[in-house]
């Protein structure tokens, strides 16, 4: 659970733009193993749908949700190593 929390925090701070900025190269390197094991667009799409739902279920402003999801899409190709 501690590891899961750390990963969730790293993910959220990356998507929200700080304090830990991550380069495209770092995102590629960080997901290389997952891509080798079969991480694809399909998984990415499923993740985006769940993330959107979780944000909509919480008190996050709609414009901020759009912002976050836009940033997630900007990172797609680096995460998938494309």
Binding site for ligand HEM (CB under 6 A): 6-7, 10-11, 14-15, 22, 30-31, 33-34, 39, 43-44, 47, 72, 75, 79
SS3 content of the chain, % helix, strand, coil (to 5): 75, 0, 25
Angle at which helix 62-79 crosses helix 41-57, to 10 degrees, equals 160
Q: How far is the CB of 53 from ligand HEM (least distance, A)?
A: 14
Spell out the residues 6+ positions from residue 43 whose beta carbon is closer than 8 angstroms to its own: none
Q: How far is the CB of 7 from ligand HEM (least distance, A)?
A: 4
Q: Half-sphere exposure of 51 toward its Cβ, with a 13 Å CA cutoff? A: 20
If the CB atoms of residues 31 and 52 are measured against ligand HEM, the closer one turns out to be: 31
**Closer residue to ligand HEM, CB minimum distance, 43 or 64:** 43
Of 17 and 56, the one with the shorter C-beta distance to ligand HEM is 17
């Amino acid at each position: 659970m501690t590891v899961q929390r750390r990963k969730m925090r790293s993910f959220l701070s990356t998507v929200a733009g700080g304090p830990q900025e991550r380069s495209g190269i770092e995102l590629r390197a960080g997901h290389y193993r997952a891509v080798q094991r079969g991480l694809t667009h399909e998984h990415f799409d499923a993740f985006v749908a769940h993330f959107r739902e979780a944000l909509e279920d919480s008190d996050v402003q709609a414009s901020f949700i759009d912002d976050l999801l836009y940033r997630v899409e900007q990172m797609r190709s680096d995460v998938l190593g494309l």
